[in-house]
Amino acid sequence: MKAGFIGLGAMGVGMARNLAKAGYLAAVYNRTGSKAEALAAELQLAAYDSIEQLAANVDVVLICVSADKDVLAVVDAIVKAVKPGSVVVDMSTVSSETAKLAAQKLKDKQTAFLDAPVSGGVEGANKGTLAMMVGGDVAVLDHLRPLLAAMTARIEHLGDHGAGQACKAVNQIMAAGINQAVTEALAFAEAQGLPLEQVIDVIAGGAAGNWFLQHRGKTMTQNQFAPGFKLALHHKDLKIAQQMAQRVGVGCPLTVVTLADYAKLMAKGYGDEDISALYRVKQKR
C-alpha cells in the first residue's frame, strides 16, 4: 500500500513523518512546494509538483489542508488523475456536507473516501498519538487500519460519510468551552498574584486538570502564543458547529461567545496565533 500526503502544515508534517517511519509514505505534495521538497529530501521520497501527479502514483491519498474550499479544490484535482480502486482519506476539519460531496465526487471515479478528522494537536501529530474520528465504509477503514495506526493512538468508526466530521464538531465545541474555562481561570489566578507555574502544576494533577491546561497553560501565561492550533482555524470549525447546532435546534452559547472573542482577536491580527491567545481577551488590563 503506497501512500501520498497532501498538506504539510503544522499537523501534516508530523503525520507524514510517522507514515514514512512505518514504511507507508511514498510521496508528498504541498501548495508551497519548498516545504514538500524539504520533507521529501529528509525522508528520501518523492515530492510532486502537482496533486494530479501524486494521485496517479499512489494507492492511498491522505489530505490535511485548511478549510472546506481547500479540501474540495484538492479533491477536484485528485479526481482528474486518481487510479480506480484507490482510497482518499481527508484528515482536515471541515463540514459533514463537504465530506459527503467529496465522497460523491470520488465515487464517480471508483475511489473510496473516508472523512477522518483528528484531535490531539501538533504534539499528537508528531508523536503519532492522534484520536481519529472516521465516517465512511467500515470495510475500507479496516483495510487501512494498519496505515492509519502509524499516526494515531485511537481510531473510532462513527457511521457513514460525514459522521467523522460531525464527531469532530462535538470535539471543537468542547475545546471552545475548555479554552474559555482555562484562559478565564488563569487570568483570574494572575490577577490574584498567585505563582502561575505552581497553580498550573497543582491543578493539572487534580479533577480540573486537562490536556489544554497541561500543554498550553504555561506558554499562555508567559504570553507565548505560537501555534499549535491557529485561532482562525478553530473559528472556522466553530462556524460549522454553530450551523449544525442551529439545524437541530440545540443552543451552544459557549460556541457563540468564543466565536465573538476569536473575531475580535482576528480583527487585531492575531488569527495565526494559537487558540490559547484567548488569554489576551481575559487578562486584566
Instruction: Cite the active site residues.
Output: 168
Show the cell assigned to 142: 479496516
Contact stretch for ligand NAP (CB under 6 A) within 9-17, 18-26, 153-161, 212-220:
9-17
Which of 18, 93, 111, 258 lies at the binding interface for ligand NAP (CB under 6 A)?
93
**What values do phi and psi take at 88, rounded to 5?**
-115, 130
**231 lies in the binding site for ligand NAP (CB under 6 A):** no
R_g of the chain, CA atoms, integer Å: 19
Site map (CB under 6 A) of ligand NAP, residues 27-46, x = contact:
---xxx--x-----------
Least distance in angstroms from the C-beta of 175 to ligand NAP? 9
Which of 3, 10, 16, 75 lies at the binding interface for ligand NAP (CB under 6 A)?
10
249: enclosing H helix or E strand: none
**238 lies in the binding site for ligand NAP (CB under 6 A):** no
Least distance in angstroms from the C-beta of 146 to ligand NAP? 22
Entry field: residues in the chain: 285
Which of 39, 65, 148, 176 lies at the binding interface for ligand NAP (CB under 6 A)?
65
CA 160 – CA 203 distance, rounded (Å): 39
Least distance in angstroms from the C-beta of 204 to ligand NAP? 19
Show the cell assigned to 130: 492522534
CA 119 – CA 91 distance, rounded (Å): 10
Alpha helices, DSSP H only, in the chain?
12-21, 33-43, 51-56, 68-81, 96-107, 121-127, 138-148, 163-191, 196-204, 211-221, 231-248, 253-267, 279-282
CA 270 – CA 228 distance, rounded (Å): 13
Geometric angle at alpha carbon 177, from 251 and 122, rounded to 5° = 130
Return the closest-CA partner of residue 60 out of 122, 140, 135: 140
Output 53 or 66, the one with its CB closest to ligand NAP: 66
Neighbouring C-beta atoms of residue 208, cutoff 10 Å: 11
**122 lies in the binding site for ligand NAP (CB under 6 A):** yes
Contact stretch for ligand NAP (CB under 6 A) within 58-66, 147-155, 173-181, 255-263:
58-66
Contact stretch for ligand NAP (CB under 6 A) within 64-72, 96-104, 151-159, 182-190:
64-72
Which of 17, 58, 79, 92 lies at the binding interface for ligand NAP (CB under 6 A)?
92
**7 lies in the binding site for ligand NAP (CB under 6 A):** yes
Residue nearest to ligand NAP (CB): 9
Least distance in angstroms from the C-beta of 271 to ligand NAP? 11
Give the footprint of ligand NAP on this chain (CB under 6 A).
7-12, 30-32, 35, 64-66, 70, 73-74, 92-93, 118-119, 121-122, 228-230, 233, 237
